[in-house]
Amino acid sequence: MTPTNRLEQMIRRLTSQRNCLAFAAEMVVDLPGPVLEFGLGKGRTYDFMRERLPERDIYVFERDVHCRPEYVPADGYLLLGDVRDTVPAALAQIGEPAALAHFDIGTHDFTADAPLTDWLTLAVTPLIRTGGAWYRTAPWRTHAGSRCLCRRTTATATTWSIGSGPSDRNNTKGR
Ligand SMILES: C[S@@+](CC[C@H](N)C(=O)[O-])C[C@H]1O[C@@H](n2cnc3c(N)ncnc32)[C@H](O)[C@@H]1O
């Protein structure tokens, strides 16, 4: 049933995000490397990932920290600034390619967000280990050697897709 009110829409969106992140965490459980979180926001998904992957280093990219102090990453794990400035030099700080990247710097307007999200997808490519995964909440682009988990919210359903390249675009499951 399509939710018609704001509360149900938010519940569906966050449930989808939680399920995708849980699945992504399972995908990389045997893969070494840190996690990259793009968009600290209120720290919700960061807190989820550090609970799910407690042994992992999690590096967070954020230009404007506005969450409670307990959700702010420790020194050295917050890359403060616009991603267009921080991502190009990030590998030196992170030290090794990541197992998983989660992009959550967008808004509800995928069209307006597309230039930044597409730029980020390409810019993050060298930061993700071969076989690593990334999850973005916008129409996807992918690159060789990584797996992509993508949530799409349409008028009728929230779905997620998983694949290793554009040919897997139709491998979609409802959630
Ligand atoms: C949707 S919120 C993130 C929500 C967060 N993942 C959570 O679960 O609480 C998006 C965040 O991305 C950040 N952001 C947006 N554009 C950015 C950019 N170009 N560089 C760095 N951070 C950016 C915003 O400041 C905002 O905190």
Residues with CB under 6 A from ligand 1: 39-45, 61-64, 82-83, 104-105, 116
Of residues 49 and 169, which shows the higher confidence score? 49
Q: Is pLDDT of 151 > 60?
A: no
Residue 147: strand, helix, or coil: strand
For the CA of 42, the closest atom of ligand 1 is 9
CA distances from 166 to 98, 120, 148, 162 (A): 21, 17, 10, 10
Q: Would the pTM count as exceeding 0.85? A: no
Return the pLDDT at 70.
98
Of 45-54, 68-77, 130-139, least confident by mean pLDDT is 130-139
Q: How far is the CA of 39 from the centre of ligand 1 (A)?
A: 3
The domain spans of the chain are: 6-174
Say if residue 161's pLDDT is above 80: no
The fold of 6-174 is Rossmann fold (3.40.50)
Nearest to 160 by CA among 136, 124, 132, 130: 136
Once rounded to an integer, what is the mean pLDDT over residues 92-106? 90
pLDDT at 82 over 70: yes
Give me ligand 1 centre to Cα 107, in Å.
9
pLDDT at 91 over 90: yes
